[in-house]
Structure 1
């Protein structure tokens, strides 16, 4: 009896111990889970194979990283285009890079990234928009750097360097600034290299070293200017300035360290040009001196605070860590590519590359703009204001080709000029961009309900675009309207008639023109309603929407017909949407632009087919991720990275697909969330508004 009782006690103790073990394990797992959540703001790289640079930007300055962490591979400056060697092709400024540090040892050998580098690591901190690099170099020094494009000073970038001596050592830090040769240019601006010690004020004795440079663009009509200054922790070393030649100058200083000692400094790089200021030569020095007396740590903290403000608008995903960090990388890439106050838009690759010249396409309005309209309305306002500011040029362009109203270029520079290379025909007939711009303006009003904005900017845009389309259509003997000789989103088919997306988006624009005119008691052109009623959208005898009058089932470059369901909400019948999805998905070129699959994913999510939606959501970006940071390219193979267009599509799937958000006549609202089954929760955090929380699908 005692033995049985003792055995019972032992079993009770065993189960109590096991329950304690399980509880401790759950607590440990929860702690690990919390740690993982913290890590979902960072991306760590430890392998340099197949290295694709990280991207840091603030909407005006874009930086691409190098493995060494000492310099930027390339700097791109927004707001000004220059000619390239191709003659008729213009690109954002990308031929000036002062973010350039070299370390030269006493034996005259330079620190070179290679076999001597050990324990290399780069960490991309999305929350703070900082890239950290660390490694040891042989037996000589340990290197730590931070690279950032300052959010609080959008015309500046900053590098922070720290070196630790692994042995007694002496080395020289060199910063060279080189400008392109413009000696044959005839213009009002001249090349200039300069170095000076500038007073902070009449009461502060300290002076700041500034090495500046300025040079004209190839046309000579504009000027680019940049400068570097240094912050030193404690003793200021002797600075040695050398003008190397007419195009290059250098500032250098020598560092001596005993084993175990550390040395750190900061370099601030400033940029401006004649599109931003009438005094680029001197304003770049002024940018360097802003808050210099408060120290670089003050600038760094303000940068972090500015990003913290941006991240008040975030997307949180529980249950899919991979999707979470990829989603934040998407938001980060868009946020890094635009700034308040400049009324600029976003090129397809942001400020990470000059793919497509950094021109503004329909990518801005149809792909990047909708998620920003939800998450960062001020950025969306900048994008649509950019189009309003180029409206006058669009009206001249329409007149040039014999049309009424406003006709926007396929590839726009900042003045609204057509920048498509003359060898690339699409600029002549890919006119749907003009309609896409009006849709963006109408959606801005629907979300913000800013009637004054609609009157001053939105309606003038929509009206002139509507006028273009009623002059662009043709009428047949039956009274129906057609749009002939166009290129739709599927660019594999040129000069087709009645492209489905083009005709559909025109109907949406004309409807917006009528509705906005009524809201403002403005006059309505009766042709808007007539063309709206009578323009055709073709259907195949089998029931699917026909892509264009000439289409017979060939492979397509990217989504066209399927855009009518989303984002246009032109086709709303579920059976028709499904029929079009099933017909066109197999026909999309797998090597085409990635964003097609995000459009399909959004429609499938809205139809409640969550598994299919999630499969396409992953297909829209995962094959395009590039090592080591996971930034996506346009296509699965080698192509331009930080594809903001694709990121815009990906975010739209989350916001308008899985979260079920819609933009209706009464603004932004949620219809029905349909989450992937393993997503535990999806939260849209929008600054100043109540969070939208979505639970798992049943």
Structure 2
């Protein structure tokens, strides 16, 4: 009996021990699971099928990745437009790419991305804006790279290379800088290729190896310049420079490794041009020398710190990991496309590529600007200040076509010139962009309450735009005002009268002019009030708001009428909003631009229909995601990425729809959150302000 009793005790103890072990294992697995779930800052790619490049940017330089990780597929430089070789179309600079290396083995064969590559992986780290690449190349090398567009040095990019020998090996690293042939350019600038060793100071013996280049634009009136320098871990190898021809140069060095040995170095590329400096030839070299003596790890640390500062303004979503990643990817894409201190705006595809020439559209004001105004007001200031800086040209453009005030171009370069290709008619009549500019300025004041800015910049801009609309409007015999012969957001219908969004935006602008004038004790033009009160918004006999006087129910390219409810807040009656939503949703072309469904989603969320809102929210971008990183394109099919316009729409649904934020006379405030039921919590983190925490409606 006693032995049997002991045996029972032993079995009981064994059971308890095993239960304890299982509980520990479950807790450990849960901790790991929680850790993985909380790591919603990285996007991993392991499949190169249908590869769409990753995007890195710092507001001045944009990079598109290569599978190999050895360089950039494309570089886009902000701040200067260059002419197309085949005509008069101007686009942001994308014909200069020094971010590249080649690996040539001792048998003269070059490392080629293909069958020899295995265990390939790329990781886009959103929090640090770093793209990491790793793979095994045959039996020869393990390759690892890190690529960044330096946030702390916005005219520079950096790639860190690390190679591990899998066998005794020799190879040569080659970096080439090529420039286009501008020998026929008639301006003051000439092509210049150069290599030199530059002293850091009179007391430091080490010299900086810099290969630089400069070349004129096609007209010769401007100059693009760049330079590459290298950081070596340990002794600097012998560097071999050769000028291959008048338009291409190359720097190379050799590496010899025993099996298991590692070798690493860093390449920094600098970019500038004559719109940023009167000395582009030398400023590129100066950028290379910035903190060179402190090393590339110092530059990388400051880059990470700068992005950490940006991410103090973040959107946190609990309960939907996919939505969390996509929201951060949207913020990341906008943050990567603009920088402080330059007073530039954001093109539709940021600096990822030069879709639509990299011109500035209404996309900036209506789609990208509102979330930036909430999350990063200082970057939003850059966007609206860009429009103020081009006000003089907008006034000339209005006078050119017989109007008063200021008329902004449909597609703007950085001087405010019209850049729409002449084959398109939109630049002549798609005038709502001019209203969108004034609305963004008025909203900037409402959110920031910066009265001095309003007096010096905001009101002068709003006033001139109000004068334009007074001259653009026509009065009928009943005393009503009309805007005739326009193109609204729905570009499938040209030369219509009384487009709903255009007329509604005019009312908002004229009211903003009146209110801002009152605040500043400025003179009010009585026509502002007359035109605003008399501006017609057409309504169909069946009760829905009519898109324009000629509209009879055809398919539309994108939202128009629905913009009156959001973001204009002109239609506030829920019955009317719902009627307009239900009528126009099926009319929207499913192959059109992605923003429309985000507008509808925002209005549904604001009315408390979170389920319908979430369905449309996903419909607005999910079909547009491209493998392997999930960047969205303009349309579901093959089209340009990264579509920052669509990202702006996504973020507006989250901020102004699900979180219930509004911009009113007293600034930014929360009305009522309406979250999708599976979202456990939504938090808007805005640097320097108290977090906005939202829970799902019961």
**How does the TM-score come out when normalised to structure 2?**
0.97
Q: What SS does the corresponding residue of 1:293 show, helix, strand or coil?
A: helix
Q: Residue in 1 aligned with 2:282? A: 282
1:168-207 alignment, distance < 5 Å? 168-207=168-207
Q: What SS does the corresponding residue of 2:286 show, helix, strand or coil?
A: helix
| CA–CA distance in structure 2, aligned partners of residues 696 and 500 of structure 1 | 34
Q: Residue in 1 aligned with 2:102? A: 102
| CA–CA distance in structure 1, aligned partners of residues 599 and 670 of structure 2 | 18
Q: Residue in 2 aligned with 1:446? A: 446
Q: What SS does the corresponding residue of 2:341 show, helix, strand or coil?
A: coil
1:246 aligns to 2:212 (yes or no): no
Distance apart, 1:36 and its partner CA: 2.3
Give the ranges of 4+ consecutive aligned residues of structure 1 lying more than 4 Å apart after TM superposition: 8-26
Distance apart, 1:696 and its partner CA: 1.5
Q: Residue in 1 aligned with 2:516? A: 516
Question: Residues 545 and 20 (structure 1 numbering): CA distance in 2 closer, same or farther, change over 3 Å?
Answer: farther
Q: Residue in 2 aligned with 1:620? A: 620
**Per-residue Cα deviation, 1:9-33 (whole angstroms, up to 9, x for no partner):** 9999999899968965763464134
Q: Residue in 2 aligned with 1:160? A: 160
| CA–CA distance in structure 2, aligned partners of residues 26 and 612 of structure 1 | 38
Q: What SS does the corresponding residue of 1:559 show, helix, strand or coil?
A: coil
**Per-residue Cα deviation, 1:399-442 (whole angstroms, up to 9, x for no partner):** 00000000000000000000000001100000000000000000
**Per-residue Cα deviation, 1:306-347 (whole angstroms, up to 9, x for no partner):** 000000000000000000000000000000000000000000
Distance apart, 1:34 and its partner CA: 2.7
The farther-off stretch of 499-508 and 24-33 is 24-33
| CA–CA distance in structure 1, aligned partners of residues 12 and 472 of structure 2 | 85
Q: Residue in 2 aligned with 1:503? A: 503
1:509-658 alignment, distance < 5 Å? 509-658=509-658
Distance apart, 1:87 and its partner CA: 1.4
| CA–CA distance in structure 1, aligned partners of residues 338 and 401 of structure 2 | 32
| CA–CA distance in structure 1, aligned partners of residues 201 and 657 of structure 2 | 56
| CA–CA distance in structure 1, aligned partners of residues 166 and 29 of structure 2 | 39
The farther-off stretch of 536-545 and 80-89 is 80-89
Q: What SS does the corresponding residue of 1:533 show, helix, strand or coil?
A: helix
| CA–CA distance in structure 2, aligned partners of residues 670 and 383 of structure 1 | 24
Q: Does the 8 Å CA contact 1:88/1:422 hold for their aligned counterparts?
A: no
Distance apart, 1:35 and its partner CA: 1.5
Distance apart, 1:37 and its partner CA: 3.5
Question: Residues 681 and 389 (structure 1 numbering): CA distance in 2 closer, same or farther, change over 3 Å?
Answer: same
1:128 aligns to 2:145 (yes or no): no
**Per-residue Cα deviation, 1:243-280 (whole angstroms, up to 9, x for no partner):** 00010000000000000000000000000000000000
**Per-residue Cα deviation, 1:608-651 (whole angstroms, up to 9, x for no partner):** 00110000010111100000000000000000011000000000
Question: Residues 14 and 361 (structure 1 numbering): CA distance in 2 closer, same or farther, change over 3 Å?
Answer: farther
Structure 2's unaligned 5+ residue stretches are none
Structure 1's unaligned 5+ residue stretches are none
| CA–CA distance in structure 2, aligned partners of residues 399 and 691 of structure 1 | 47
Q: What SS does the corresponding residue of 2:171 show, helix, strand or coil?
A: strand
Q: Residue in 1 aligned with 2:387? A: 387
| CA–CA distance in structure 2, aligned partners of residues 10 and 583 of structure 1 | 74
| CA–CA distance in structure 2, aligned partners of residues 12 and 490 of structure 1 | 75
Q: Does the 8 Å CA contact 1:544/1:583 hold for their aligned counterparts?
A: yes
Q: Residue in 2 aligned with 1:216? A: 216
Question: Residues 362 and 17 (structure 1 numbering): CA distance in 2 closer, same or farther, change over 3 Å?
Answer: farther
Q: Residue in 2 aligned with 1:32? A: 32
Q: Residue in 2 aligned with 1:146? A: 146
Q: What SS does the corresponding residue of 1:175 show, helix, strand or coil?
A: strand
Q: Residue in 1 aligned with 2:43? A: 43
Q: Does the 8 Å CA contact 1:214/1:226 hold for their aligned counterparts?
A: yes
Q: Residue in 2 aligned with 1:489? A: 489
1:88 aligns to 2:94 (yes or no): no
| CA–CA distance in structure 2, aligned partners of residues 410 and 424 of structure 1 | 11
1:331-370 alignment, distance < 5 Å? 331-370=331-370
Q: Residue in 1 aligned with 2:371? A: 371
Q: What SS does the corresponding residue of 1:226 show, helix, strand or coil?
A: strand
Q: Give the count of matched residue pairs.
A: 694
**Per-residue Cα deviation, 1:193-248 (whole angstroms, up to 9, x for no partner):** 00000000011010010000000000100000000000000011000000000100
